[in-house]
Structure 1
Amino acid sequence: MDKKTEEFYERLEAELDRSNDWPALYLFKFIVPSVADNVERVGFAFDCMGAVIKTTKSKTGKFTSISVDVTMKSAQEIIEKYQEVSTIEGIVSL
């Protein structure tokens, strides 16, 4: 991981810890290209966690927005999820 990415995650972790008492409900938002198994891969990342996942296709159908409401145990667990899904080609985390 490059230094800029590492610093981003450090700031995110500090902000999450300041604004939450753990465990806490967290809303992940992603946009993925509507190809192959991108949506399913995001879903698998949250499998067996009791997540509520909502998907919406763009008007053209080229992209799918994914909202994931899930209880997370810590800021570090949130960061690990972002890192896990970052391997999905074309994913944008919002």
Structure 2
Amino acid sequence: MDESSQSFKEKLDSVHVFPTLYLFKFIVPEAQIPEVKALFAKHDVKLKPSKNGKYSSVTIQVMMGSSDQVIETYEKAKKIEGIISL
């Protein structure tokens, strides 16, 4: 785990008591929406398209067992081209 991941883990652990319902928010190019849905296949993915329709705001609530699970999910998500984590 690199230094930034360790810092994020410490911040998550100081704010959340795991297991907890964790809110993921992303901005995603429309073409990559299927990849995000596949990453969160068992969960309700809420989409809000941008005005010009090129991007969508994506919100997903997922029960996470640990800060490590949250970080692992962000690591998988960042492999999606053009995704922005909020």
> Unaligned regions of 5+ residues in structure 1, if any?
none
1:14-33 equivalent positions in 2, closer than 5 A = 14-33=10-29
Match of 1:7 in 2: 3
1:9-88 equivalent positions in 2, closer than 5 A = 9-35=5-31, 38-48=32-42, 51-88=43-80
- Residues of 1 paired with 2:37 and 2:30: CA distance? 14
- 73, 80, 90: which one aligns with 2:82: 90
1:37-69: CA deviation from partner (whole Å, max 9, x where unpaired): x11211111223xx3321011000011110011
Alignment TM-score, normalising by the size of structure 1: 0.84
Runs (4+) off by over 6 Å? none
- Residues of 2 paired with 1:40 and 1:9: CA distance? 27
- Residues of 1 paired with 2:48 and 2:6: CA distance? 31
- Residues of 1 paired with 2:3 and 2:48: CA distance? 31
Identity across aligned pairs (percent)? 40
